[in-house]
């Protein structure tokens, strides 16, 4: 199922780029390179966000299920379970939230939302006559 979704996302990206570069869709205008670069940047941010999140999930549920001393050396040998997070994957994710590994997905998500909001608020959607001179 994951490979199918990944294939759909990659095909959607290439179809978007092909539509932006196809001369049929441009009505005599040049290629809008800012829109092509915007699309590439958004796809890149989402790819990094997804990859790092999957890595964090793998680390927390497989590699460090009960051993969070490798992340935070201040933790004692037998720490008490946290009343909110307990122990295990959720506590591991809570501990790494302020490390580089924990900040990357949040940064990518915010940058991608910023780009999406900028695209929606840009002048791309200003009304333009389809038949000039009428």
Which range marks the domain in which residue 85 is found?
Answer: 41-121
72 in a structural domain:
yes
Please give the Cα distance from 2 to 53 (Å, whole number): 14
1 in a structural domain:
no
15 in a structural domain:
no
Whole-prediction pTM value?
0.69
Are 91 and 61 contacting, i.e. CB atoms less than 8 angstroms apart? no
Q: Give me the number of domains the chain comprises.
A: 1
57 in a structural domain:
yes
Strands (E), 26-100: none
pLDDT, one tens digit per residue, over 76-127 is 554 555 556 566 777 778 888 888 888 999 999 999 999 998 888 876 666 6
Residues recorded for the chain: 134
Please tell me the predicted confidence (pLDDT) of residue 64. Answer: 56
pLDDT, one tens digit per residue, over 17-74 is 998 888 877 777 788 888 899 999 999 999 899 889 888 888 888 765 555 555 555 5
99 in a structural domain:
yes
């Amino acid at each position: 199922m994951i490979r199918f979704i990944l294939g759909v996302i990659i095909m959607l990206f290439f179809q978007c780029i092909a539509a932006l570069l196809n001369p049929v869709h441009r009505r005599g205008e040049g290629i809008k390179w800012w829109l092509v670069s915007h699309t590439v940047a958004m796809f890149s941010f989402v790819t990094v966000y997804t990859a790092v999140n999957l890595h964090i999930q793998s680390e927390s549920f497989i590699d460090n299920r009960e051993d969070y001393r490798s992340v935070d050396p201040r933790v004692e040998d037998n720490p008490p379970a946290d009343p909110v997070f307990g122990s295990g994957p959720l506590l591991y994710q809570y501990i790494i939230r302020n490390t580089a590994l924990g900040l990357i997905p949040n940064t990518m998500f915010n940058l991608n939302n910023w780009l999406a909001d900028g695209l929606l608020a840009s002048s791309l959607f200003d009304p333009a006559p389809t038949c000039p001179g009428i």
